[in-house]
Structures are given as C-alpha cells and as structure tokens.
Amino acid sequence: MTSTLEPLASTLSAAELAAVRADFPLLERTLRDGRPLVYLDSGATSQKPEVVLDAEQDFYTRRNAAVHRGAHQLAEEATHAFEDARARVAGFVGATPGELVWTSNATAAINLVAYAMSNATAGRGGQAARRFALAPGDEIVVTESEHHANLVPWQELAARTGATLRWIGVDDDGRLRTDELATVVTERTRVLAFTHASNVTGAVTPVEAFVARAREVGALTVLDACQSVPHLPVDLGALGVDFAAFSGHKMYGPTGVGALYGRRELLEAMPPVTTGGSMVEVVTMEATTYAPPPQRFEAGTQMVSQAVALGCAATYLSELGMPAVAAHERHLAGLLLGAVASVPGVRVIGPTDTRERLAAVSFVVDGVHAHDVGQVLDDAGVAVRVGHHCAQPLHRRFGVAATARASAGVYTTDDDVAAFREALAGVRAFFGLGGATTDGRPA
Amino acid sequence: MSSAMEQLYQQVILDHAKFPHGRGLPDGVGAVGVAAADHGTCAATSHQVNPTCGDEVTLHVDVDTSGGTPVVRGVAWEGQGCSISQASTSVLHDLVVGQDLATVDRLAASFRTMLQSQGAGLADEAEEEALGDAVAFAGVSRYAARVKCALLGWVALDDALILSGARTTEDA
C-alpha cells in the first residue's frame, strides 16, 4: 500500500513558512480589541494568497471576454486563460484537462454525477449511458463519515431510482471500517461514494482498499477529495477512482468554483445534467446533440475569473511542493493533538495519532457545548469551527450533537497552536467547571 | 476576558444554564403536536432545531382557556444545546408561566427586539424591566451568530401556542 503521507518529505523551513504567511494579507488583520488573528478554520475555508487575489483582479482588468465564443483577440486570450487554468488544476490532481469539469463547488460536482445517473436511469444518453442506470435491487454505498454533500445526493438518487442506500461504519477512533467493505460492498453495489479524508475526524481513507473492492464488484467510485486536495499530494489517476469532487475555496482559491474529475471514458458516456448554452453541438427545434466533455457539463456562462484564480492557487501549491505542505501539516497535527490532550476534560473525536490523518482535530470539552467553547476561543482571537460540520450522522455515531474543530492550513504556525492551547485551557474554568492552569494541570 | 464576553455570559445566564428551570417533560407529552384540547384547557408540544449547530428544544405548553383571556399554566421543556439556548429557555419558563397570552406576546416581542438591537439594548426602560432576568441576554445581540440560540425556546413556545389552538397565527 502506498502512503499518501510521506513521513520523510522535508517540511517547510522557518523562512519558507514566514514567506508563506506574508503571501496572505488577511492574516495580518486584527480582531476585536486589537487581538491578532489565530486562524484555525482552514478546513471550512482557506485564506487566499495575494497571487490568487491578483489573478482574479488581473483577469477582469486586462483579459475579460466571453470564453469559447467570439473571434476577437480578447476572447481568445480569455479562453486561453480559462483553459490554461483547467490544465493547471487537472495537472495538480493527476488528471488530464479533458477529465476536469468546472462546477460551482464540490457539492455541485457530486450532484452532477448523481443527476447524470438519474438521467441515464430515465433512458437519456442512449446505450452508452446504460452503465449509469440504477434500478430497484441496486445498491449505493457511502460511509458514516461523509459530509452531507456526499450523503444527501445519494439518498436522493436512491429515492428517485428505487436503489438502496447502505453504508460503511466508523470505528471508535474515527477510522472507516475497511473490514466492512467485504460484506457491505457486494455484487449489487453500483456506486461506492466515500471521502478521501474526513472533515471531522481528519482520518485519511485507505483509498486503495475501497477502489480494489469496488473493482471486484464492478461498482463506480466517487471520491470526496475536498479535504485531501489542499493538504496532501493527490494523484487521482493513480488512485484509480472513477469520479472525484473538490472545491476551490478550501485550496486557497476563490469561492464559486470547484471541480468534478471523471475518467475520460466515463465522462464521454455520461448524459448531461444542466442543459442550455455552450454545451451543445447541433440544436434544431426538435432535438439537440451535445458537446464532448468537459463542455457537455458546463452549460451557461462559467465562473471564468474564479477558475483562472484557482489555476493560480494550484500553481502556488505546486511551487511550495505538496509533500512539504503535507509534512508541515503533519507536524501541526501532532501539535494540535498534543495541545488537546494536555487540557483536562477535553476529548478528541477522531484518531489520536498522526498516522494517516490531517491537521483537522475535532474535540469536545466535557460540560461545555461546542458553541460556548468556540465563543471563548474567539474571545482570544482563535477562530475554530463549531457545530456538526455538515456531518450529523458522524456526530450521532459518537453520541455528540456538536464538536469544536481546529484545522490548520499551509500558513499555520506553532505559535497559532500555542495560542489555541492557552485559550482552550481556560474554557472549563470560564464556565465554572474545575478548570486548568495554563500549563494543563488541574487548577 | 473581554467586557463583551462578560456581557454575553452574565452570571445569571451561566446559572440558568447550569440549573435550568422547567426542564424535564412530564410523561407522555414528548410527542410533537396537540396534546390536549379539553374544555377550558389546551396544550401542545413543539420541537425546534437550530440547523447550523444542531441545538434542539422540545417545549410543552399548557394553557388555561377557561377565563376571558387564555393564561399559560405551565411550560416544560427538554433540550440540548449551548448555554445561551438552554439558559434562554429556562428564563422563558420563569417569565411566561402564569401570564396571559397578551403579556406573553409582549414579552416575546420585547425579547426579540432586544436581541436584534446589535448591542444597543431596549430603549424603553419599562419594557426592559418587564423582561426580568431575560435582560441578561442583551449582550447576545452583539454576536449575530448567537441570536438564534437565544431565540430557540421562544420559537418553540410560539409554535406550541399556535399548535395548542390557544391562539391562531393571526393573533401572533
């Protein structure tokens, strides 16, 4: 099994990290009462480097025109910028440009696949699309770890087609029950949709085992790569998944743009979902033929400036080197886990070691609701996510309604984690619950 | 700790969160909907969720309709959530039990106005006085993300009163 985390990869040097931080203007700002910002919510959305902000501005300032139409020079330049961004993002995740469809976000990407399957079930796409059609008796398998974006579209697809939804469980450490693949994924399974890395537990999925089992039974694989693409080296072609979705705004790019990866032969066989302009070949009053992918799935005016800026974000990360980014964040995962472990009355939901895990650490504070934890941390300038993180079933699995989550990004420092730790140590005391001194000993 | 935080988590809120009043549903009133509508009395239960954080409250209201104006005879609730949502429902219990519906509606309106004041509080002192312990939630209005927490129990009360038939939506 090949590891997605290379323990021997060299991390970012202190100078490199300082340079990275200088690239992100927002990190300079202060909060209420002049407090510095300690941003530990990159799992929800990342901050943007100046080159990405400039790329979007530059597109509108110098190259804006309608893409894929018009014969004038400006239209050519805009089209080139748009397609160059596609090539950069595709290359960043080990795909070819023809395998990368722009979507408004990752949720839209997953829904695109689910609705294309619906359309195939309704007979659209002809014989070639039959492989996507579902019927009663067929099964769709997801996991208990999924973000709602990779669960609800499959519940809906099952409801529309009569297929049955099943799922792989999660163990007490927050890792997927890979042992259940053999029993839950069967000859009836047509789709296996799973996350590459949980946005709650941070656990990284052994994709190889999932893909191998799906291939044994002839099921399509759909990977939610939202949390992995910004934090780990990801080669979708090498992973061998059929489809993958990821978002731009979590990988230091803008909101409003995400991507669907699909193996070329699958995209070619798949019927369109959103129809209209830009995705057609020949239109008569009676019928229409469709453009080849990826354009077949890109109806209407696209998010051109965002796509261009996302291409720039992919280049930014490539230049830093994803092995170094991953090594830096693995170091931070260790620090975050250590910080949480050092405060009495705080418990991690997810793996407590750094093996195959991201620097996204969810936790509960005994006797204090996550919202209240977040408020006390916010008062110290520490921004974390609180709530169910769009993963209610996973929280139910652990018997909690909400958790707080500290998640790192490429710009996160040891000092950020130290500030987090100090604020966390004061939470229980604030609510009158046998607090702890700042060195972690019970007060 | 900043003064805004101290305003947010006033001692009265922390106390109500720790020792909530009216908490615990009597047997058999957990089901959402109309619980009873006998002559002279009506009751109903409402379940409300804050979808952004998963906080929940199930609130049962018992109304005496035998007199000229309906009077809230009892409020019982069960819930899980942050200290703001739990304390707010506890304070609600203390405020509305024994009050007629017109008073309950006035208190609910004042509470909402205060929470939407973005830190300014209520202009009318008499109105503020009437809210009793609930004025402690004025600090919540500075934190837009927490306003829904403070209103969760009040939304459940409003819904339960409509369900009970004690008043119609047009009255609200």
Inter-chain residue contact A371 with B18, CB threshold 8 Å: no
**Closest residue, chain B, to A34 (C-alpha):** B2
Q: What is the pLDDT along chain B (172 residues), one digit of tens a residue?
A: 778 888 899 999 999 999 999 999 988 776 777 766 677 889 999 999 988 777 899 999 999 998 888 999 999 999 999 999 999 999 999 999 999 999 999 999 999 999 999 888 898 888 889 999 999 999 999 999 899 999 999 999 999 999 998 875 454 4
Using CA atoms, how far apart are residues A153 and A171, in angstroms rounded to an integer? 24
Q: What is the pLDDT of residue B27?
A: 81
For B156, phi then psi, to 5°, come to -65, -40
Q: Chain A within 8 Å of B13 (Cβ-Cβ)? A: no
Using CA atoms, how far apart are residues A99 and A245, in angstroms rounded to an integer? 12
Q: Chain A within 8 Å of B144 (Cβ-Cβ)? A: no
3-state secondary structure A1-53: CCCCCCCCCCCCCHHHHHHHHHCCHHHHCECHHHCECEECECCCCCCCCHHHH
Q: How many CB pairs under 8 A join A and B?
A: 55
**Closest residue, chain A, to B81 (C-alpha):** A369
3-state secondary structure of A364: strand
Query: Shortest Cα distance from B137 to chain A (angstroms)?
Result: 14
**Closest residue, chain A, to B80 (C-alpha):** A401
Q: How many C-beta neighbours within 10 Å does residue A352 have?
A: 15
- Residue A81 CA, chain-centre distance (Å), reads 24
Q: Which of B14, B54, B84 sits opposite A432 (nearest CB)?
A: B14
Interface test with B, best of A35, A349, A362, A375 (most B CBs within 10 A): A375
pLDDT by residue (tens digit) across A204-223? 999 999 999 999 999 999 99
Interface test with B, best of A41, A152, A372 (most B CBs within 10 A): A372
Inter-chain residue contact A370 with B53, CB threshold 8 Å: yes
Active-site entry in A17, A390, A400, A433: A390
- In 3D space, the residue among A96, A134, A125 whose CA is nearest the CA of residue A269 turns out to be A125
Q: Which of residues 26-55 of B touch A (CB under 8 A)?
A: 52-55
For A5, phi then psi, to 5°, come to -110, 120
For this structure, is A312 an active site residue? Answer: no
Using CA atoms, how far apart are residues A354 and A3, in angstroms rounded to an integer? 13
Query: Shortest Cα distance from A392 to chain B (angstroms)?
Result: 8
> What are the Cα distances from residue B32, in Å, to B28, B43, B156?
10, 11, 11
Q: What is the pLDDT of residue B52?
A: 77
Predicted ipTM of the assembly? 0.86
Beta bridge partners of A362: A349, A405
The low-confidence residues of chain A, meaning pLDDT below 70, are: 1-9, 435-443
Q: What is the pLDDT of residue A3?
A: 46
Query: Shortest Cα distance from B30 to chain A (angstroms)?
Result: 19
- Region of A174 (left: φ > 0; alpha: ψ -120 to 50; beta: rest) is left
Alpha helices in chain B (DSSP H): 3-8, 11-18, 83-96, 101-115, 125-130, 144-164
Inter-chain residue contact A372 with B83, CB threshold 8 Å: yes
- In 3D space, the residue among A249, A181, A164, A251 whose CA is nearest the CA of residue A221 turns out to be A181
Inter-chain residue contact B143 with A375, CB threshold 8 Å: yes
Query: Shortest Cα distance from B19 to chain A (angstroms)?
Result: 13
Inter-chain residue contact A372 with B2, CB threshold 8 Å: no
Contacts 24+ apart (CB under 8 A), A117-122: A117/A157, A117/A161, A117/A191, A118/A157, A118/A160, A118/A161, A119/A271, A119/A272, A119/A273, A120/A270, A120/A271, A121/A160, A121/A161
Beta bridge partners of A191: A140, A220
Inter-chain residue contact A431 with B149, CB threshold 8 Å: no
pTM value?
Answer: 0.92
Q: What is the pLDDT of residue A248?
A: 98
The conformation of residue A61, written as its DSSP 8-state character, comes to: I
What tokens does A376 get?
């006390």
Q: Chain A within 8 Å of B78 (Cβ-Cβ)? A: no
- B124: Cβ–Cβ under 8 A, 6 or more apart, which residues? none
Per-residue burial over A111-133, b if 16 or more Cβ lie within 10 Å, else e, is bbbbbbbbbbbeebbeeebeebb
Q: Which of B4, B54, B143 sits opposite A402 (nearest CB)?
A: B54
pLDDT by residue (tens digit) across A32-84? 889 999 999 999 999 999 999 999 999 999 999 999 987 899 999 999 999 99
Helices A152-161 and A106-121 cross at an angle (nearest 10°) of: 10
Inter-chain residue contact B55 with A371, CB threshold 8 Å: yes
The conformation of residue B22, written as its DSSP 8-state character, comes to: S
Cβ contacts (< 8 Å) between B52 and chain A: which residues? Answer: 387
Query: Shortest Cα distance from A51 to chain B (angstroms)?
Result: 32
The conformation of residue A63, written as its DSSP 8-state character, comes to: I
Using CA atoms, how far apart are residues B12 and A294, in angstroms rounded to an integer? 59
